[in-house]
Amino acid sequence: MRRRLYYLLPDLPSARAMLDEMLLARIEERHIRFLARAPLPDDMPGCSFMVKTDLIHGAQWGTIIGGIVGLGAGIFLSLFPPEGVTLRTASILLVALGGALFGGWASGMNAAAIPNKKLEQYAPRLDQGQVLMMVDVPVRRMKDIEAMIARRHPDFDFGGEEPPMLAFP
């Protein structure tokens, strides 16, 4: 499992130096992301579209709500079928699955236009020219990485951490 740590860095040169230090600390580049108002150089990993927007959160809620509404619609259709149509129990599950798929798609499309709520708190500092570094660190190494950054750069602001997340390959 990994935890995401947030650090606010004063400018792009310090962000580049921090990237080098993270790589020397054996944190893979795919677990490091930077977000800034100014365009990042090509050799620095930026945030993906899914990190910048609420796409994942919206799709999750849409799937849940769509599944519940689809289940209700499937039950309603099986209790009160249209004239001349016999519906089986499997149709309830199919309508629930269709509702979940449609709800996830529709909510995901809407949430793709909304900035990420977790990153909203850093917007004023990003407008001032600072750079946000997000690092996904294994839980067992979290204290070591925090101590290394605090020892080398006591002026960097620790922005917080997220709850544990599953490590995907």
pLDDT tens, residue order, the chain (169 aa): 788 888 888 888 888 888 888 888 888 888 888 988 888 888 888 888 888 888 888 999 999 999 999 999 999 988 888 888 877 888 899 999 999 999 999 999 999 888 888 788 888 888 888 888 888 888 888 888 888 888 877 777 676 666 555 544 4
User: What confidence score (pLDDT) does residue 169 get?
Assistant: 42
Domain assignments of the chain as residue spans, ordered by start: 2-49+116-161, 55-111
Phi then psi for residue 2, to 5 deg, are: -125, 155
What is each CA distance from 111 to 1, 3, 61, in whole angstroms? 26, 24, 10
SS3 (DSSP) at 139 = helix
Q: What does 76-110 look like in DSSP terms, one character per residue? A: HHHHSPPTT----HHHHHHHHHHHHHHHHHHHHHH
* Torsion angles phi and psi, residue 25, rounded to 5: -80, 10
* Cβ contact 69:95 at 8 Å: no
Please tell me the predicted confidence (pLDDT) of residue 8: 85
Q: Tell which CATH classification among 1.10.3470, 1.20.144, 3.30.70, 3.20.20 matches the domain 2-49+116-161.
A: 3.30.70
Instruction: Measure Cα distances from 119 to 17, 49, 93, 106, 145 in Å.
Output: 22, 13, 37, 23, 21
Cβ neighbours of residue 72 closer than 8 Å, sequence gap 6 or more = none
Which pLDDT value is given to residue 21?
87
Q: Which residue has the tokens 């925090």?
A: 146
Is 101 within 8 Å of 66 (Cβ atoms)? yes
Please count the other Cβ atoms lying within 10 Å of the Cβ belonging to residue 155.
Answer: 7
168 token code pair: 């995907």
